[in-house]
């Protein structure tokens, strides 16, 4: 098969079913959706059908597709070099991006370790934390365990699955994972008996403190998705929770790893979610939106304290023996730099504010539906949880795939979405227009009506 051999749509669809093993997809039931091109927030499939991109090509697109600045930056870099290694060498784009990230990130995160996906960014943070405790000025080699939140999602490599907590994805691999201790995830919709919304922050911080108090001697780090646990169903934490975790981890001598893979780069209305609570973590994981959704680049940012623990002569074996072939890829770095420039040139974070307000208006209306149990929003991230019974908060049986039914209906109305079980997700590119946002919300509303009828 040569790239330009003629090929029919039917062949493409058949080969897609037979040869491409799609992520998180039951291939026995897979129906091909083959995207051929895109412009702005609109995707076009091989049949010529147009769709609004309601989930940012899985939470990564920021400024729309085919943004002229990012396209041009990648083309310009192609005329220099496509890839160089970071193993003992460097590239100007890669260097500039590291510098830019340290300028933008919370204070103190001055060092950038590159990899190529969110999972590897977390994997790197886990290993850095582990090695840090062996090499820091007062070594604590017994710190080999990690604290993570219930329902957490940090990616699909074994290290990131170990700190994950989504039973549907992770339970199968239990025997392969290292030990973690779990902190109950703040859930403002299904609060424990006797806990009010008002008392939720104190309650959940107390639960976190119990875990840290019991295990801090052997805890290397606590891993958290700041503000929103995305794959858990867009669970939004009570304000103050992240700051509370930062104070607790300081007090108990445990590193804080912030996984901003989903919430970073403007999704929450600020560049990084940590800014909402003035939190500087010890390690910050970035991926998805880093290149505006163009190329696989990830970064793990670390403090001077972490960095210093790895310095020494080679013979001291303090080196971080970890790397990914495409880490710091210059094409990706050029795309990321262009994406970050657009934030300034187009005042993206200012422009997104009215869209966040408009999304809130839509959610308030959707919340009235008799089968919508809860709506959750943080910035331009929204989750709409469908329930069988609103009063009793009874979920739909997961196997009924109600969320998927909503998305299928929306697709018929020209809006592309992907649910998380019974939670319908709206997470468009920051570049979405108010009109387009209205269209997405309308398609969701009609989809919910259709999927919950009868």
Which secondary structure element, helix H or strand E, spans residue 390, and what is its range?
Answer: none
From the list 1-9, 234-242, 243-251, 259-267, the region that binds ligand PLP by CB under 6 A is 259-267
| Residue found by looking up tokens 């992240």 in the block | 242
**Rg of the Cα trace of the chain?**
22
From the list 107-115, 225-233, 374-382, 437-445, the region that binds ligand PLP by CB under 6 A is 225-233
Count helices and strands in the chain by DSSP H and E runs:
15, 17
Which secondary structure element, helix H or strand E, spans residue 321, and what is its range?
Answer: none
Which secondary structure element, helix H or strand E, spans residue 382, and what is its range?
Answer: strand 381-389
Distance CA 348, CA 340 (A): 10
Q: Where are the beta strands (DSSP E) in 160-267?
A: 180-183, 219-224, 228-229, 235-236, 255-259
Instruction: Tell which one of 41, 231, 440, 448 touches ligand PLP (CB under 6 A).
Output: 231
Does 151 bind ligand PLP (CB under 6 A)? Our answer is: no
Q: How far is the CB of 35 from ligand PLP (least distance, A)?
A: 18
Instruction: Tell which one of 287, 334, 336, 366 touches ligand PLP (CB under 6 A).
Output: 287
Does 209 bind ligand PLP (CB under 6 A)? Our answer is: no
DSSP-derived 3-state class of residue 217: helix
* Residues 453, 166, 377: CA angle, nearest 5 degrees: 60
Closest residue to ligand PLP in the complex (CB):
118
Does 123 bind ligand PLP (CB under 6 A)? Our answer is: no
> Nearer Cβ to ligand PLP, position 122 or 337?
122
Q: Which of 400, 453, 393, 445 is nearest to 424 (CA)?
A: 445
> Nearer Cβ to ligand PLP, position 118 or 238?
118
Cα-flanking dihedrals φ and ψ of residue 123, to 5°?
A: -55, -45
* Residues 236, 238, 241: CA angle, nearest 5 degrees: 110
DSSP-derived 3-state class of residue 222: strand
Instruction: Tell which one of 153, 265, 272, 326 touches ligand PLP (CB under 6 A).
Output: 153
DSSP 431-445: T--HHHHHHHHHHHH
Does 236 bind ligand PLP (CB under 6 A)? Our answer is: no
Interface mask (CB under 6 A) for ligand PLP, residues 154-173, using x and -?
xx------------------
> Nearer Cβ to ligand PLP, position 60 or 384?
60
Does 235 bind ligand PLP (CB under 6 A)? Our answer is: no
Q: How far is the CB of 155 from ligand PLP (least distance, A)?
A: 3
| Residue found by looking up tokens 């840290």 in the block | 212
Distance CA 142, CA 353 (A): 46
Does 146 bind ligand PLP (CB under 6 A)? Our answer is: no
Does 259 bind ligand PLP (CB under 6 A)? Our answer is: yes
Instruction: Tell which one of 117, 249, 303, 452 touches ligand PLP (CB under 6 A).
Output: 117
> Nearer Cβ to ligand PLP, position 421 or 447?
421
Compute, in degrees rounded to 10, the torsion defined by CA atoms 149, 153, 157, 159: -10
> Nearer Cβ to ligand PLP, position 117 or 348?
117
From the list 123-131, 190-198, 258-266, 393-401, the region that binds ligand PLP by CB under 6 A is 258-266
Q: How far is the CB of 228 from ligand PLP (least distance, A)?
A: 9
Q: How far is the CB of 376 from ligand PLP (least distance, A)?
A: 15
User: Under the rule (CB under 6 A), what is the footprint of ligand PLP?
Assistant: 117-119, 122, 153-155, 225, 230-231, 259, 261-262, 287-288
């Amino acid at each position: 098969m040569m790239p330009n051999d003629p090929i029919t749509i039917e062949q493409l669809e058949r080969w897609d079913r037979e040869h491409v093993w799609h992520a998180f997809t039951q291939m026995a039931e897979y129906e091909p959706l083959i995207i051929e091109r895109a412009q702005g927030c609109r995707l076009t499939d091989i049949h010529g059908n147009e769709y609004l991109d309601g989930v940012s090509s899985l939470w990564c697109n920021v400024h729309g597709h085919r943004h002229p600045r990012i396209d041009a930056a990648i083309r310009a870099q192609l005329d220099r070099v496509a890839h160089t290694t970071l193993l003992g060498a460097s590239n100007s784009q890669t260097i500039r991006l590291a510098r830019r990230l340290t300028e933008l990130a919370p204070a103190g995160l001055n060092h950038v370790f590159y990899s190529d996906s969110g999972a590897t960014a977390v994997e790197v943070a886990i290993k850095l934390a582990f090695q840090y405790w062996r090499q820091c000025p007062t070594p604590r080699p017994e710190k080999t365990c990690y604290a993570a939140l219930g329902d957490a999602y940090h990616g699909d490599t074994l290290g990131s699955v170990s700190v994950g907590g989504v039973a549907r994805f992770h339970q199968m691999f239990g025997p392969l994972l290292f030990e973690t201790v779990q902190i109950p995830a703040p859930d403002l919709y299904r609060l424990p008996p006797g806990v009010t919304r008002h008392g939720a922050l104190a309650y959940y911080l107390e639960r976190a403190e119990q875990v840290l108090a019991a295990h801090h001697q052997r805890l290397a780090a606590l891993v958290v998705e700041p503000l929103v646990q995305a794959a858990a169903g867009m669970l939004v934490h009570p304000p103050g929770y992240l700051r509370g975790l930062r104070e607790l981890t300081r007090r108990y001598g445990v590193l804080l790893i912030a996984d901003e893979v989903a919430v970073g780069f403007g999704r929450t209305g600020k560049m990084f979610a940590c800014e909402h609570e003035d939190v500087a973590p010890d390690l910050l994981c970035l991926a998805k939106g880093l290149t505006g959704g163009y190329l696989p680049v990830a970064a793990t940012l670390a403090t001077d304290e972490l960095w210093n623990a790895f310095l020494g002569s080679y013979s001291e074996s303090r080196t971080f023996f970890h790397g990914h072939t495409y880490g710091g890829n210059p094409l990706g770095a050029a795309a990321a730099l262009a994406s970050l420039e657009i934030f300034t040139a187009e005042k993206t974070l200012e422009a997104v504010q009215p869209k966040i307000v408009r999304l809130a208006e839509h959610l308030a209306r959707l919340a009235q539906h008799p089968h919508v149990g809860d709506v959750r929003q943080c910035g331009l991230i929204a989750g709409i949880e469908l329930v069988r019974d609103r009063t009793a908060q009874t979920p739909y049986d997961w196997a009924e795939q109600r969320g998927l039914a909503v998305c299928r209906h929306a697709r018929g109305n020209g809006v592309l979405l992907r649910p998380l079980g019974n939670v319908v997700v709206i997470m468009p590119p920051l570049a979405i227009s108010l009109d387009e946002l209205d269209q997405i919300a309308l398609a969701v509303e009609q989809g919910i009506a259709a999927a919950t009828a009868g």
